[in-house]
């Protein structure tokens, strides 16, 4: 393996059995917890189903030292599986992977933590898993706790921690490992904004030190700002490996009508399904780039598999950095829709768009009347707003204010003077 290469993957694949009962644990956390179980007992356990699927198939790539690569794809594309193989938490079914350099990994919340142990004990456990010596962890312990901002709870069992506390502690341990290769799996989406900024600053510092970073995220703003290259996975296979902008474009095209990233079920299993979305200007021309102040028409086709009384259609515009900028609701806007069943079309005409220049994604949610149960949650595509001046330095939107002034005031009048 060349010293210029940090990661080499050849034909990586991971096969799972659907509905398997009592399969051998293949994650590091599971092996730690279940260490006392005998090998003979595991081999004797029968499998309830022989149906298999590949979460990852024939993944082959090379990543140079110091390269920052985004791993993108829809839910279930194989992103987390790939990172678990590279971090040696999961063994591949096929292929090989080689890492050149000290490896740090932050995968799902709490990987490497033991629920019954305290934060202090887990710092030593997780540090050891990452390859740090006990002496090294002890020397860095105070700095780790300070970075994590959980001194008050360091001797509390982590089973009582929030997800944000989990991530802060895990990231703090990994940060002080000073890895040469860092794997990040969506962990920066958890926790408050100030800690997210601290984590981003840490990764930027690693970049300056020529570290190699693989970053899984649904936040395309983070991917674009951190990565010069993306690997786009679809149904377990690499569909694209190259320039960030082109990879993001392919991803966003496939996102349209897919389930929102936080939605666990397949849209087709929901009572109502959005089957098509058209983004148009006020002249009914299809487009995805709007000037500041233009109106947008959003037309959605749906198919309701059951009778739904007064469904509440909700449209949210999400900025590229994940900020929810505005929200339209048929119910809140006074449009009480008749009961629906079968196919139909619903249209939203927005007021003039005052959002600052950026790229925005459209989130479509249908709820029962009264903002109750979510009936479907899908992606509606993306659009851009352009303006020469109004960007994110102006916040989320810009609406002109009403200004008055006087320039001939005597010193004793001040703010109490009338401006007419």
Query: What is the per-residue pLDDT across 64-98, written as a single tens digit (0 to 9) for each?
Result: 999 999 999 987 889 989 999 998 888 999 999 99
Residues in CB range of 289: below 8 A, 6 or more apart: 383, 384, 386
Residue 32's φ and ψ, nearest 5 degrees, are: -65, -45
- Could you tell me the pLDDT band of residue 189, with boundaries at 50, 70 and 90? low
| pLDDT higher than threshold 70 for residue 312 | yes
Same fold, 5-251 and 267-394: no
Do 316 and 362 meet the contact criterion of CB atoms below 8 Å apart?
A: yes
Of 96-105, 252-261, 285-294, 374-383, the least confident: 252-261
Write the pLDDT tens digit of every residue in 36-71: 444 444 444 444 445 788 999 999 999 999 999 999
Q: Report the predicted TM-score, pTM, of the whole model to 2 decimal places.
A: 0.68
Of 30-34, 374-378, 385-389, the least confident: 30-34
Separation of alpha carbons 154 and 148, rounded Å: 10
**In the chain, where the domains are located:** 5-251, 267-394
Strand, coil or helix: 178: coil
The pLDDT of residue 37: 46
- Helices 119-129 and 134-148, axial angle in degrees (round to 10): 120
Quick one: residue 209, left, alpha or beta (phi over 0 = left, psi -120 to 50 = alpha)? alpha
Going through 186-254 in order, the beta strands assigned E by DSSP cover: 212-216, 229-234, 237-243
Residue 196: its H or E element: helix 193-208
Residues in CB range of 326: below 8 A, 6 or more apart: 316, 317, 355, 396, 397
Do 304 and 341 meet the contact criterion of CB atoms below 8 Å apart?
A: yes
- Looking up tokens 């939107």, which residue turns up? 397
Separation of alpha carbons 265 and 75, rounded Å: 10
The full length of the chain comes to: 420
Assess if CATH 2.70.50.60 describes domain 267-394. yes
Who wins on pLDDT, 215 or 198? 215
Residue 90: its H or E element: none
- Helices 163-177 and 119-129, axial angle in degrees (round to 10): 50
Q: Give the highest mean pLDDT range of 29-33, 262-266, 308-312.
A: 308-312
Residue 218: its H or E element: none
Separation of alpha carbons 79 and 322, rounded Å: 20
The pLDDT of residue 38: 43
Average pLDDT over residues 158-167: 84
Question: In angstroms, what CA-CA distances link 176 with 104, 155, 208?
Answer: 10, 20, 16
The pLDDT of residue 170: 84
Beta bridge pairs of residue 233: 238
- CB burial readout 222-244, b (16+ within 10 A) else e: bbbebbebbbbbbebbbbbbeeb
Average pLDDT over residues 314-326: 88
Beta bridge pairs of residue 297: 280, 349
| pLDDT higher than threshold 50 for residue 33 | no
Write the pLDDT tens digit of every residue in 103-123: 887 776 556 688 889 999 999
Separation of alpha carbons 380 and 274, rounded Å: 9
Average pLDDT over residues 283-301: 92
CATH architecture of 5-251: 3-Layer(aba) Sandwich (3.40)
The pLDDT of residue 75: 76
Average pLDDT over residues 140-167: 89
The pLDDT of residue 191: 57
């Amino acid at each position: 393996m060349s010293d210029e290469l940090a990661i080499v993957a050849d034909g990586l694949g991971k096969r799972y059995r659907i509905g398997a009962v009592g399969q051998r644990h293949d994650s590091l956390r599971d092996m730690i917890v279940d260490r006392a179980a005998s090998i003979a007992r595991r081999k004797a356990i029968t499998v309830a189903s022989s149906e298999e699927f590949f979460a990852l198939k024939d993944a082959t790539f090379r990543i140079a030292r110091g390269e920052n690569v985004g791993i993108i794809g829809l839910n279930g594309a194989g992103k987390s599986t790939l990172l678990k193989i590279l971090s040696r938490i999961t063994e591949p079914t096929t292929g090989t992977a080689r890492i050149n350099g000290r490896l740090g990994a932050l995968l799902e919340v709490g990987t490497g933590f033991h629920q019954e142990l305290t934060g202090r004990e887990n710092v030593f456990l997780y540090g050891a898993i990452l390859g740090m010596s006990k002496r090294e962890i002890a020397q860095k312990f105070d700095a780790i706790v300070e970075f994590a901002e959980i001194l008050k709870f360091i001797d509390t069992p982590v089973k009582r921690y929030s997800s944000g506390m989990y991530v802060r502690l895990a990231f703090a341990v990994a940060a002080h490992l000073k890895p040469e290769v860092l794997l990040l799996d969506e962990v920066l989406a958890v926790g408050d904004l100030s800690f997210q900024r601290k984590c981003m600053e840490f990764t930027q510092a690693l970049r300056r030190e020529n570290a190699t970073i693989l970053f899984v995220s649904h936040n395309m703003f983070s991917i674009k700002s951190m990565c010069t290259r993306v690997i786009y996975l679809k149904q377990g296979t690499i569909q694209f490996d190259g320039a960030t902008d082109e990879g993001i474009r392919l991803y966003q095209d496939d996102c349209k009508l897919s389930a929102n990233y936080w939605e666990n079920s397949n849209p087709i299993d929901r009572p109502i399904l959005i089957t098509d979305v058209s983004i148009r200007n006020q002249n009914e021309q299809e487009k995805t780039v709007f000037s500041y102040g233009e109106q947008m028409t959003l037309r959605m086709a749906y198919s309701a598999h059951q009778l739904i009384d007064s469904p509440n259609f909700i449209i949210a515009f999400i900025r590229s950095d994940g900020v929810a900028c505005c929200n339209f609701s048929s119910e809140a806007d006074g449009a009480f829709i008749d009961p629906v069943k079968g196919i139909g079309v619903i249209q939203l005409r927005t007021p003039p768009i005052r959002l600052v220049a950026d790229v925005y994604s459209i989130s479509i949610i249908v709820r029962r009347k009264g903002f109750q149960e979510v009936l479907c949650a899908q992606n509606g595509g993306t659009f851009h707003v352009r303006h020469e001046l109004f960007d994110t330095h102006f916040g989320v939107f810009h609406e002109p204010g009403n200004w008055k002034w006087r320039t001939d005031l005597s010193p004793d009048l001040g703010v109490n003077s009338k401006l007419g």
